[in-house]
Amino acid sequence: MRCDRLGVQEEETMRQKLNMKPSVRIRALPSSRHARRPSLLSAGMIAAALLGFPATTSAGESVENQTRAHLDGMSFKGGVGPHGQPHDVEDRFVFANGEFVSKECERRCEYPARPYFVRKAGDQIEFISETRCPYKDATIVWRGTVQGDKIEGVATWTINRWYWTVEKKYEFSGRLEQSVSPLASSD
Protein backbone atom coordinates (compact mmCIF):
# COMPACT_ATOMS: atom_id res chain seq x y z
CA MET A 1 0.00 0.00 0.00
CA ARG A 2 1.43 3.37 -0.97
CA CYS A 3 0.57 6.73 0.59
CA ASP A 4 1.14 8.76 -2.57
CA ARG A 5 -2.08 7.85 -4.39
CA LEU A 6 -5.66 8.76 -3.71
CA GLY A 7 -8.23 6.11 -2.94
CA VAL A 8 -10.31 5.01 -5.94
CA GLN A 9 -13.49 6.65 -4.63
CA GLU A 10 -11.74 9.94 -3.78
CA GLU A 11 -10.04 9.98 -7.16
CA GLU A 12 -13.32 9.38 -9.01
CA THR A 13 -15.04 12.15 -7.02
CA MET A 14 -12.29 14.62 -7.89
CA ARG A 15 -12.33 13.50 -11.53
CA GLN A 16 -16.05 14.32 -11.69
CA LYS A 17 -15.63 17.69 -9.96
CA LEU A 18 -12.80 18.69 -12.27
CA ASN A 19 -14.47 17.20 -15.39
CA MET A 20 -11.42 15.05 -16.15
CA LYS A 21 -11.08 12.02 -18.39
CA PRO A 22 -10.49 8.62 -16.70
CA SER A 23 -7.06 8.31 -18.32
CA VAL A 24 -5.78 11.30 -16.32
CA ARG A 25 -4.16 10.22 -13.03
CA ILE A 26 -4.56 12.51 -10.01
CA ARG A 27 -1.43 12.67 -7.87
CA ALA A 28 -0.39 14.80 -4.94
CA LEU A 29 1.97 17.69 -5.51
CA PRO A 30 5.36 17.67 -3.80
CA SER A 31 5.07 18.59 -0.16
CA SER A 32 7.57 21.48 -0.26
CA ARG A 33 4.69 23.94 -0.68
CA HIS A 34 3.52 23.19 2.87
CA ALA A 35 6.80 22.10 4.46
CA ARG A 36 7.42 25.29 6.46
CA ARG A 37 3.87 25.79 7.66
CA PRO A 38 3.67 25.29 11.46
CA SER A 39 1.23 22.67 12.64
CA LEU A 40 -1.67 23.24 15.00
CA LEU A 41 0.01 20.95 17.53
CA SER A 42 3.26 22.93 17.58
CA ALA A 43 1.31 26.20 17.87
CA GLY A 44 -0.53 24.76 20.87
CA MET A 45 2.72 23.72 22.50
CA ILE A 46 4.18 27.19 22.02
CA ALA A 47 1.06 28.70 23.62
CA ALA A 48 1.33 26.29 26.56
CA ALA A 49 4.98 27.21 27.06
CA LEU A 50 4.13 30.92 27.03
CA LEU A 51 1.45 30.33 29.68
CA GLY A 52 4.00 28.71 31.99
CA PHE A 53 3.32 25.00 31.45
CA PRO A 54 4.48 22.47 32.47
CA ALA A 55 4.53 22.86 36.24
CA THR A 56 7.56 21.73 38.21
CA THR A 57 7.88 19.53 41.27
CA SER A 58 9.69 20.52 44.45
CA ALA A 59 12.80 18.77 43.05
CA GLY A 60 12.66 21.08 40.04
CA GLU A 61 11.83 18.34 37.50
CA SER A 62 8.86 19.09 35.24
CA VAL A 63 5.67 17.14 35.85
CA GLU A 64 5.57 16.36 32.14
CA ASN A 65 9.05 14.82 32.25
CA GLN A 66 8.16 12.73 35.30
CA THR A 67 5.00 11.44 33.61
CA ARG A 68 6.77 10.91 30.30
CA ALA A 69 9.34 8.79 32.13
CA HIS A 70 6.47 6.51 33.20
CA LEU A 71 5.56 5.81 29.55
CA ASP A 72 9.09 5.47 28.18
CA GLY A 73 9.96 1.81 27.72
CA MET A 74 6.35 0.72 27.25
CA SER A 75 5.22 -1.19 24.18
CA PHE A 76 1.57 -2.02 23.47
CA LYS A 77 0.28 -4.63 21.03
CA GLY A 78 -3.12 -3.94 19.52
CA GLY A 79 -4.87 -2.72 16.45
CA VAL A 80 -6.04 0.26 14.43
CA GLY A 81 -9.19 0.72 12.39
CA PRO A 82 -11.40 3.40 10.86
CA HIS A 83 -13.53 5.30 13.38
CA GLY A 84 -16.44 3.11 14.52
CA GLN A 85 -15.12 -0.05 12.84
CA PRO A 86 -13.09 -3.01 14.11
CA HIS A 87 -9.41 -2.45 14.84
CA ASP A 88 -8.35 -5.12 12.36
CA VAL A 89 -4.91 -3.80 11.36
CA GLU A 90 -2.39 -5.17 13.85
CA ASP A 91 0.02 -2.62 15.29
CA ARG A 92 2.53 -1.99 18.05
CA PHE A 93 2.60 1.37 19.85
CA VAL A 94 6.02 2.12 21.34
CA PHE A 95 7.14 4.82 23.79
CA ALA A 96 10.94 5.14 23.92
CA ASN A 97 13.42 7.95 24.58
CA GLY A 98 10.65 10.55 24.80
CA GLU A 99 9.20 9.54 21.42
CA PHE A 100 6.09 7.66 20.28
CA VAL A 101 5.77 5.53 17.14
CA SER A 102 3.17 3.30 15.52
CA LYS A 103 5.22 0.46 14.06
CA GLU A 104 2.64 -0.22 11.33
CA CYS A 105 2.64 3.41 10.15
CA GLU A 106 6.42 3.39 10.26
CA ARG A 107 6.52 0.20 8.17
CA ARG A 108 3.89 1.23 5.60
CA CYS A 109 4.65 4.91 5.05
CA GLU A 110 7.87 5.64 6.97
CA TYR A 111 6.20 7.84 9.60
CA PRO A 112 9.05 8.39 12.10
CA ALA A 113 9.02 8.26 15.89
CA ARG A 114 8.26 11.75 17.23
CA PRO A 115 8.18 13.39 20.67
CA TYR A 116 5.06 12.89 22.71
CA PHE A 117 3.56 15.14 25.36
CA VAL A 118 1.65 13.95 28.40
CA ARG A 119 -0.46 14.97 31.34
CA LYS A 120 -1.75 13.00 34.29
CA ALA A 121 -5.55 12.85 34.56
CA GLY A 122 -6.59 10.89 37.63
CA ASP A 123 -5.35 7.32 37.31
CA GLN A 124 -4.60 7.59 33.60
CA ILE A 125 -1.99 9.33 31.48
CA GLU A 126 -3.14 11.27 28.42
CA PHE A 127 -0.68 11.71 25.57
CA ILE A 128 -0.47 13.46 22.22
CA SER A 129 2.08 13.11 19.42
CA GLU A 130 2.25 14.40 15.88
CA THR A 131 4.23 12.72 13.13
CA ARG A 132 4.78 13.91 9.58
CA CYS A 133 5.29 11.75 6.49
CA PRO A 134 8.83 12.40 5.20
CA TYR A 135 7.82 12.61 1.52
CA LYS A 136 4.19 13.80 1.43
CA ASP A 137 2.28 16.61 3.10
CA ALA A 138 0.57 14.20 5.47
CA THR A 139 0.44 14.12 9.26
CA ILE A 140 -0.98 11.86 11.93
CA VAL A 141 -1.92 13.32 15.31
CA TRP A 142 -2.15 10.59 17.95
CA ARG A 143 -4.30 11.38 21.01
CA GLY A 144 -4.72 8.66 23.57
CA THR A 145 -4.78 7.46 27.14
CA VAL A 146 -2.78 4.85 29.00
CA GLN A 147 -4.50 3.33 32.00
CA GLY A 148 -2.90 0.35 33.69
CA ASP A 149 -1.95 -2.08 30.92
CA LYS A 150 -4.31 -0.60 28.28
CA ILE A 151 -3.87 2.04 25.60
CA GLU A 152 -6.63 3.55 23.50
CA GLY A 153 -7.29 6.67 21.51
CA VAL A 154 -7.85 8.34 18.16
CA ALA A 155 -5.37 9.01 15.36
CA THR A 156 -6.29 11.80 12.93
CA TRP A 157 -4.64 11.39 9.53
CA THR A 158 -4.56 14.54 7.40
CA ILE A 159 -3.16 14.99 3.91
CA ASN A 160 -3.10 18.32 2.13
CA ARG A 161 -3.73 18.11 -1.59
CA TRP A 162 -3.49 20.82 -4.17
CA TYR A 163 -7.12 21.97 -3.97
CA TRP A 164 -8.42 20.10 -0.94
CA THR A 165 -7.50 18.46 2.36
CA VAL A 166 -8.46 14.90 3.32
CA GLU A 167 -8.90 14.10 7.02
CA LYS A 168 -9.73 10.66 8.41
CA LYS A 169 -10.05 9.44 11.98
CA TYR A 170 -8.83 6.06 13.13
CA GLU A 171 -9.28 4.44 16.53
CA PHE A 172 -6.56 2.40 18.18
CA SER A 173 -6.31 0.21 21.25
CA GLY A 174 -3.94 -2.31 22.73
CA ARG A 175 -2.53 -4.07 25.76
CA LEU A 176 0.87 -3.75 27.37
CA GLU A 177 3.31 -6.07 25.64
CA GLN A 178 6.47 -5.16 27.55
CA SER A 179 7.63 -2.50 29.94
CA VAL A 180 10.77 -1.30 31.59
CA SER A 181 8.73 1.56 33.04
CA PRO A 182 8.34 2.18 36.80
CA LEU A 183 4.59 2.71 36.15
CA ALA A 184 4.02 -0.91 35.19
CA SER A 185 6.13 -2.32 38.04
CA SER A 186 4.30 -0.30 40.70
CA ASP A 187 1.00 -2.14 40.09
Predicted confidence band of residue 186 (pLDDT cuts 50, 70, 90): very low
Mean pLDDT along residues 135-151 = 95
> pLDDT tens digit string along 40-67?
455 445 444 443 444 333 344 444 555 5
Residue 42's pLDDT is 52
pLDDT exceeds 70 at position 13: no
pTM recorded for the entire structure: 0.64
> 3-state SS of the chain: helix, strand, coil percent to 5?
25, 40, 35
Do 60 and 51 contact (CB within 8 A), yes or no? no
The residues, any chain, with a CB within 8 Å of residue 74's CB and separated by 6 or more, are: 94, 95, 146, 176, 178, 179, 181, 183, 184
Short-list 25, 10, 3, CA closest to 134? 3
Residue 55's pLDDT is 39
Mean pLDDT along residues 74-99 = 94
Q: How far apart are CA 116 and CA 143, in angstroms?
A: 10
SS3 76: strand
Q: Report CA-CA distances (Å) from 101 to 19, 91, 96, 105, 128.
A: 40, 10, 9, 8, 11
Mean pLDDT along residues 150-166 = 93
Burial of 16 (0-12, 13-18, 19+ CB in 10 A): exposed
Q: How far apart are CA 31 and CA 28, in angstroms?
A: 8
Of the candidate CATH numbers 3.30.379, 2.40.160, 3.30.70, 1.10.287, the domain formed by 62-185 belongs to 2.40.160
For the chain, which residues make up each domain, given as ranges? 62-185
Predicted confidence band of residue 16 (pLDDT cuts 50, 70, 90): low
pLDDT exceeds 60 at position 155: yes
Q: What is the DSSP letter of 187?
A: -
Which has more confidence, 107 or 8? 107
> Which DSSP string do the residues of 110-174 spell out, in sequence order?
-PPPEEEEEEEETTEEEEEEEEE-SSSSEEEEEEEEEETTEEEEEEEEEEE-SS-EEEEEEEEEE
> pLDDT tens digit string along 107-141?
999 999 999 999 998 999 999 999 999 988 999 99
Please state, for a pLDDT cut of 90, what percent of the chain lies above it: 48
Short-list 96, 74, 75, CA closest to 181? 74
Please state, for a pLDDT cut of 70, what percent of the chain lies above it: 58
